[in-house]
Amino acid sequence: MDKLNNKVALVTGGSRGMGAAIAKRLAQEGANVALTYVNSQEKADNVIREIERLGRRGMAIAADNRDPVAVRLAVEHAIAELGPIDILVNNAGIFEVQPLETITLDDFQRNIDINVKAVFIATQVVASQMKDGGRIITIGSNLAERLPMQGLSLYALSKSALIGFTKAIARDLGARGITANIIHPGPTDTDMNPADSDFADMQRSKMSIPYYAEPRDIAGLVAWLASEEGRYVTGTGITIDSGTNV
Ligand code: NDP
């Protein structure tokens, strides 16, 4: 478990759910880890304590993805404390279900700001100082490809935008040996999509293997992509969804 020794990682939305599991897994593999959060300071601090118990350095930074200045400052703060980022995980996101006809421009803007614009800003700032061989890993969704229910236009739109962005930056950064990939999770047991919610059985009914992922399942794939073994995987999307979209 030392594939990422001496690496520096930044995980957005690392206080809970997938982001917390990813931050801890990267630390288990040897990385020092900065994470961002918006509200859950206590949970973020607990994740940092676990990272430090593993003998790694960790830092939690409050940064709302809706605020472009805060996102930029968070990245710069992480770099100033831990050094240039080797592994960026664009994880923070929101999931809003709403009928098309009731969506306002404010709703549209909020979803784009959090799910897309902040990813662009964090990636741009990180990439400007990233060493050769770095990793940019973005969390998309299997709902960018296939939609089992109504009301997902903003979510699908925002997660789909990340696919084109990932391919483009794989080209832009490839000469420096930097990989850029997007992971498309399916239903994963977090506060966003609990495995015991009223909608869980509907989601299970679409799966080939009828079990929700645990956050650590997604974290394992992130850790592999971040490792040396992932060096030739770039510009692609990997779906990890219990066979929902087959
Ligand atoms: P959770 O809601 O459990 O956790 C969300 C995380 O993002 C928290 O750390 C939260 O911080 C942070 N966050 C939320 N809003 C903002 C914001 N405005 N600025 C900064 N950080 C913010 O979500 P998941 O762990 O389930 O989701 C992680 C990613 O995976 C998301 O991009 C989501 O779209 C995607 N995904 C999730 C699936 C699922 O089934 N769970 C399936 C497919 C994709 P705080 O704790 O401070 O609120």
Average pLDDT over every residue of 197-212: 97
Minimum-distance ligand 1 atom for the alpha carbon of 38: 47
Does 245 fall in a domain? no
Does 209 fall in a domain? yes
Does 32 fall in a domain? yes
Does 43 fall in a domain? yes
ipTM above 0.90, yes or no: yes
pLDDT over 90 percentage in the chain:
99
Q: Ligand 1 pocket, 212 CB below 6 A?
A: no
Minimum-distance ligand 1 atom for the alpha carbon of 114: 18
Does 96 fall in a domain? yes
Helices 68-82, 118-129: crossing angle, 10 deg rounding: 30
Q: Ligand 1 pocket, 13 CB below 6 A?
A: yes
Which residue of the set 155, 211, 212, 232 is catalytic?
Answer: 155
**Residues 69-99 pLDDT 10s:** 999 999 999 999 999 999 999 999 999 999 9
Average pLDDT over every residue of 208-217: 98
Q: How far away, in angstroms, is 122 Cα from ligand 1 center?
A: 16
What is the SS3 assignment for 35?
A: strand
From 22, 25, 48, 91, mutation site for ligand 1 pocket: most ligand atoms within 8 A of C-beta: 91
**Residues 230-239 pLDDT 10s:** 999 999 999 9
Which CATH number belongs to the domain containing residue 63 in this structure? 3.40.50.720
- With helix as H, strand as E and coil as C, how does 43-106 read? HHHHHHHHHHHCCCCEEEEECCCCCHHHHHHHHHHHHHHHCCCCEEEECCCCCCCCCHHHCCHH
Does 1 fall in a domain? no
pLDDT of residue 2: 82
Which of 112, 126, 132, 8 is closest to 59 using CA atoms? 8
Model pTM?
Answer: 0.98
Minimum-distance ligand 1 atom for the alpha carbon of 40: 47
Q: Ligand 1 pocket, 36 CB below 6 A?
A: yes
- Centre a 10 Å sphere on the Cβ of residue 157 and count the other Cβ atoms it contains: 15
**Residues 166-186 pLDDT 10s:** 999 999 999 999 999 999 999
Does 135 fall in a domain? yes
Look up the domain containing 12 and give its range.
8-239
Does 246 fall in a domain? no
Active site residue 232: no
DSSP secondary structure code for residue 212 in this structure:
P
How many domains is the chain built from?
A: 1
Say whether pLDDT at 1 is over 80: no
pLDDT of residue 90: 99
